[in-house]
Structure 1
C-alpha cells in the first residue's frame, strides 16, 4: 500500500535503464514470478522473539506499576497505558512511522535521482532472483564514508553513499541480497519489536542503577556504616524482587548475550540467503575488503599510539552482534 503523504519511488522504464555493466541482468524485460511467501520467520528470528519475552514481560510489569500509580493519583483507567504500549508495536510497520525512523533515528535520506538510477536496476535484479516484490520495500541512502548497509523496520533497505559509489554492481547486489535476507527471514522486524517492547524495562533498569549510584555516593559522605546499611537494604530488596518474580531479573542479565549469539546466527543466515541467490563470490569479496580495511585501521592505530591494540574481552566478543569476517568468509566457501 502506498504511503498517503509520499508517493512510492518510481521504477525507471526498462528502455531507459541500462543493465549494470558487471551484473548478469537475467530479468530485464522478462516476466517476474513472485514467490507465494514473500517473507517468513526463520529459526533465528523465532529465537530472537522468544529471547525478548523476558524483557517484554519486565516492561509490562513496569507499565502496570506506573498505571497503578496513575490510577491512584489521577483516576486514569488502569488498562490504557499497557494497551497503548501493546498496540504501539504495529506502528513499526506504518509507512509514515518508518519514514520518521529512517530520517531521524537512522539518519537516512531519500536517494537522489542519479543514486536511484544506480540502485533501482540492481535491486530489481536481486528481488527478481529471490521472487520477491521489490516495490514492497523502500530504498534509502546514508551519507557516510563507511562500507555498510541496513535492513530495518518492515520495509527499509539502506546503503551508505560509499557503498553506492565505490562498489561495482555485482558486489552492490550481494550487499543488497544480504539485507533482503534479513527482511525475508523476519530478522529486521523482530529485532525492532524486541527493542521497542523491552524499552520501558531498560529505562526502568537504567533509572534504578542511577538512583542506587547516587544513593551510595551520598551515603559515602557520612560514614561507612550508612553505606553498609544502604547496601544491606539494596540486597534485601533485590532478593525479595528476584524471589517474587521467579528469577526473571536474573534471566534479564543473561538474555543480552543470548540475543547477541542469535544475532550472529542471523548474519550468517543473511549471508547464506545472498549466496543461494548466486552472490557468494561477490559477497566474499566485499567481506574480504571490509576485513582488510579493519585490519589496516588497527595497524595504523598501533603505529600512531606505539602500543599494541587492546583486544576485546570475552564479554565484549559475546555481546557482538556480528561474526568476525574470517568466520563469515569460511561459511561462504561451500557456495563459491
Structure 2
C-alpha cells in the first residue's frame, strides 16, 4: 500500500502490559478452506506496467553499461582484469532479486522487517492462505514479514517478500487485512516488484556516476567563483563543450534520462491501480475501499496538522511533485474500484 495513516484515526488503544490484545474480528469468508486447490503454473507474470517499467529503465541501463565498461577498461589496464568480466558479473547480478538468502538480507537490514513471531504467524498465515488460494497460488511461494511500525502499510519487495506493519496486523479486521495482502500479491503476480527492482539496480552505476560528476562540477564552480569571472566563464565553456559532445556521441540518449523519472512515476501509478484491480478480482473490493478511505482521512488530517505547524495555508503538493508521485491519489483509486463494488 505504501502510504501511512495516522494511528489517531483508529479508536483502538494498546492493551496494558502483560495483557493480550484481542485480535480483530475474523470476518473473512474462508471459501477455500476445504477442498482441492488448483495452483496456477506461474506465480508471477509480466503485465503491461511491468513491461513499461523495463522499457523506461532501458536508457538508464545503457548509460550504466557505458559506465561499467569505462571502469572495466581502467581495471584492465591497471590490474589485468579482462574487459568483459565486470560487465558480465554486473548483468548476471540481477538474478539476486530472486535469491532468497539475498532477499532475507534485504528484508532484515534494508527494509527493517522481521519474520512473524508465533502469535503473529497464527494471525497472518490463515489470511494469506485464503488470499493465495483465491488467486490459485501456493502460499509458500512468497515469504511473510512484519515491520514494527504504527503506520498502516504493507510491502511487496524483491522476488518473494510480502510484509505488513504491526499496526495493520493488530488493528485491521481480517477481511481488510486480506484486501491489503491481495493488493501486494497483485504487485508480485503482475511483475511490478521485480521489474522495478531490476531497473533500479541496473541504473545504479549511471546514477552514482552522475552524482560524482555533479559533485565535481559543484567544487569546480565554487573554486572558479573564488578565482575570477574569467575562470567561471572558461569552466562554463568547457562544460558546455563536453555536454554537447556527449549528446552528439550518444545520439541524445542522456536527454531521455531527464524525462524518465516522470514516465516511471506514471507507470508506477498505473501499477497501483492494477494491484487494486487484482484485489478486487479476488473479492476484496469493498474491504480495500474501506482501507483506502481510512488512509485518505488520515492523510488529510496529517496534511492539516503539517500545514498548521508550518503556518501555511496551501497544503497542496506542487505540480511537479504530483507528477513524480508513484501512487495515484485516493479519490482516483476509489473511483476505479467503483465498478467492482
Give me the TM-score of the superposition, normalised by structure 1.
Answer: 0.93
**2: CA distance, partners of 1:89 / 1:37:** 20
- The structure-2 alpha-carbon separation of the partners of 1:335 and 1:311, relative to structure 1 and needing over 3 Å to count, comes to same
Task: State the secondary structure of the residue aligned to 2:92.
Answer: helix
Match of 1:268 in 2: 273
The one of 195, 199, 202 aligned to 2:204: 199
8 Å contact from structure 1 (residues 220, 227) kept in 2: yes
**1: CA distance, partners of 2:223 / 2:112:** 40
8 Å contact from structure 1 (residues 20, 122) kept in 2: no
The one of 99, 103, 128 aligned to 1:123: 128
8 Å contact from structure 2 (residues 24, 172) kept in 1: no
* Matches for 1:205-220 after TM superposition, within 5 Å: 205-220=210-225
**2: CA distance, partners of 1:180 / 1:253:** 32
Task: State the secondary structure of the residue aligned to 1:139.
Answer: strand
Task: State the secondary structure of the residue aligned to 2:226.
Answer: coil
The one of 8, 26, 33 aligned to 2:31: 26
Q: Does 1:186 align with 2:191?
A: yes
* Matches for 1:232-247 after TM superposition, within 5 Å: 232-247=237-252
Match of 1:10 in 2: none
**2: CA distance, partners of 1:31 / 1:211:** 63
Q: CA deviation at 1:19?
A: 12
Q: CA deviation at 1:305?
A: 3.5
The one of 153, 156, 164 aligned to 2:161: 156
The one of 202, 225, 232 aligned to 1:227: 232
**2: CA distance, partners of 1:35 / 1:269:** 19
- For structure 2, the residue ranges without an aligned partner over 5 or more in a row are 1-22
The one of 48, 52, 59 aligned to 1:54: 59
- The structure-2 alpha-carbon separation of the partners of 1:81 and 1:222, relative to structure 1 and needing over 3 Å to count, comes to same
Give me the TM-score of the superposition, normalised by structure 2.
Answer: 0.91
Q: Which has the higher contact order (CA 8 A, sep 6+)?
A: 2
Q: 1:191-212 deviations in whole A, cap 9, x for unaligned?
A: 1100001100100011111110
Task: State the secondary structure of the residue aligned to 1:147.
Answer: coil
**1: CA distance, partners of 2:217 / 2:309:** 40
Q: CA deviation at 1:304?
A: 3.2
- For structure 1, the residue ranges without an aligned partner over 5 or more in a row are 1-17
8 Å contact from structure 2 (residues 27, 175) kept in 1: yes
**2: CA distance, partners of 1:308 / 1:91:** 47
Q: 1:83-119 deviations in whole A, cap 9, x for unaligned?
A: 1101100111111000001011111111111111110
8 Å contact from structure 1 (residues 298, 309) kept in 2: no
8 Å contact from structure 2 (residues 151, 167) kept in 1: yes
Task: State the secondary structure of the residue aligned to 2:317.
Answer: coil
8 Å contact from structure 1 (residues 41, 186) kept in 2: yes
Aligned residues: 319
How large is the Cα RMSD of the aligned pairs?
Answer: 1.4
